[in-house]
Chains A and B, each alone.
Chain A
Amino acid sequence: MSAHLPRKSSVALRDPRWLRWSLLAIALAFVALFLVLPLLAVFGYAFEKGLDVWRAAVVDEEARAAIRLTLLVAAIAVPLNTVFGVAAAWLVTRYSFRGKGLLVSLIDLPFAVSPVIAGLIYVLLFGKQGWLGPWLADHDVKIIFAVPGIVLATTFVTFPFVARELIPLMQAQGGDEERAAITLGASGWSMFWRVTLPKIGWGLLYGVILCNARAIGEFGAVSVVSGHIRGLTNTMPLHIEVLYNEYQRTAAFAVASLLALFALLTLVLKQIVGWRMRRIAATEPDA
């Protein structure tokens, strides 16, 4: 990265002092107003009425149910998308076949779909008046306004994250080590566990971190399919909405501060993993 920076000695590339300072001032003011201020405000509002009020909101029975549900949903959606991401990246980067371009575009498709629409499509499919609604009702299966719907909507919204991180990485790495392993007699699975997985490890982790952050925080899609049943189908973001709309503002910000803390943790992990990935890419001879 640093190799591409303009050389320090080059006077021609040095911006005049007034320009440096004004660009820097504008950029930092923008960051302060739009990023730093809201981040500090979450915690400010959460602890406005003291630690006890914060603690009461966080250990509240409904809050705990929301935390459990959020973690459960992420624990299903993220592994599913991880397995898919690895399979898709392997397929796209190791073989050429007709329709590959289409497949890559389809993987990205959920990014172009509004979260509300992501919820709507499952309601159209599984809702009471949906295509499969009557059949599901006959067999006593609840998907919409129940946990399965929340899992499905979350899976849709976080669908591309792992695949998107792995495809460029595995494209750049190439498959020579894997071919060598197969030629030397390794089975497909032992090639995967002992060669491929160690090679893509950090990139995979990076994708999982992003996928997980979105799964925990998803609001629009989940809100459409959840039905907002307290203690049963409220995830943390939905619980925040309920508290906020009931004018329990400090409690809403208390639960929100947990999610903000989690977002900060995500940023730190992402930074560390990104740094490891760049370092590995820099030490590879033909990268």
Chain B
Amino acid sequence: MRPRWRRQALPGFGLTFGVCASYLFLIVLIPLAALALKSATLGPAEFWNAVASPRALASYRVTFGCAALAGLVNLVLGPLLAFVLVRYRFPGRKLVDALVDLPFALPTAVAGITLTKLYAPNEPLGAWLASLGWKVAYTPSGITVALIFVSLPFLVRSVQPVLEQLDPDIEEAAATLGAGRLTTLWRVVLPALWPAILAGFALAFARAIGEYGSVIFIAGNMPMVSEIAPLLITGKLDQHDYAGATAIAVVLLVTSFVALIAINLLQLWTVRRRSADTR
């Protein structure tokens, strides 16, 4: 039995509960409820017209397509970078490790104007790419570049701690049993990383579909071609079309919630399957 002082209740339940509940309601829940209420006041036809107009549909294609593409690039390169940072020793490793957080620390507007200028057709890098037939700035490619920058840390930082905790004995066992190094990495290390990779991907995707500041400068913002859904929201707000803005916002919100919930379920399922396997 635990000693008596260990069972002592700590003070502050009422105070912290009161602070948390009221602050959460004031800042987060009541404003979000305003969004839900507003969308409830739209008739089904009005909602559908706003959500499924050709221009809105094109903006979802751009937003979700570029976010998925950026996520896939980071899905490959993020874990690779994490692996290099955890397993290899090279000069400047600590610096590179710290730099991975740059996209979290650098304001998105700063990233936006800088990437735009770097990839603009009248600057060296942009001109060189354009001469290869690849226009980056003011096209969906530019949006993807900005989203790769913004979502890069998610995949590195979700995989890194798992790699650090990975038991080297399993890899040694694989090697002892005759597996080549590449086979070991592919069949032993990578499967252990999948849940973390997927979680990182979901976070990156959810962040990328809502991203605004880093994208609007480089996107060119041509309706039907390079206009992202968040920009459509601000455009409708500028025209005082609150209903239209709310409808698009609901689509974006539901998509990011679904992505995050799907990943949670998938992770739960992998953990269950793992523990069933080891039994």
Contacts and interface: CB of A to CB of B under 8 A. Distances in A.
Contacts of B148: 34
Interface string A210-243: 1001101111100110000000000011101100
Interface stretch (B112-120, B193-201, B265-273): B112-120
Interface in B236-270: 237, 240, 242, 245-246, 249, 252-253, 256-257, 260
A90 B10 CA distance: 10
B114 A120 contact: no
B45 interface: no
A21 B27 CA distance: 50
Given A6-B87, A116-B234, A267 B101 contact: yes
Contacts of A97: 17
B31 to A, nearest CB: 4
B242 A237 contact: no
Interface range for B: 35 or more
A115 B212 contact: yes
Given A19-B182, A37-B118, A120-B249, A267 B105 contact: yes
A12 interface: yes
Given A34-B152, A84-B20, A213-B104, A116 B233 contact: yes
B212 A114 contact: yes
Contact of A124 (B118, B176, B240, B242): B242
A10 interface: yes
Given A12-B171, A117-B233, A237-B107, A124 B35 contact: yes
Interface string A37-74: 11101100100000000000000000000000000000
Given A45-B117, A91-B20, A213-B104, A220 B230 contact: yes
Interface stretch (A134-142, A197-205, A248-256, A279-287): A248-256
Nearest to B86: A5
Given A125-B34, A259-B107, 20 more contacts: A12-B176, A13-B175, A23-B80, A38-B149, A91-B13, A112-B257, A113-B210, A114-B212, A114-B253, A115-B230, A176-B6, A178-B10, A210-B104, A219-B213, A220-B212, A224-B234, A244-B217, A253-B114, A260-B106, A260-B110
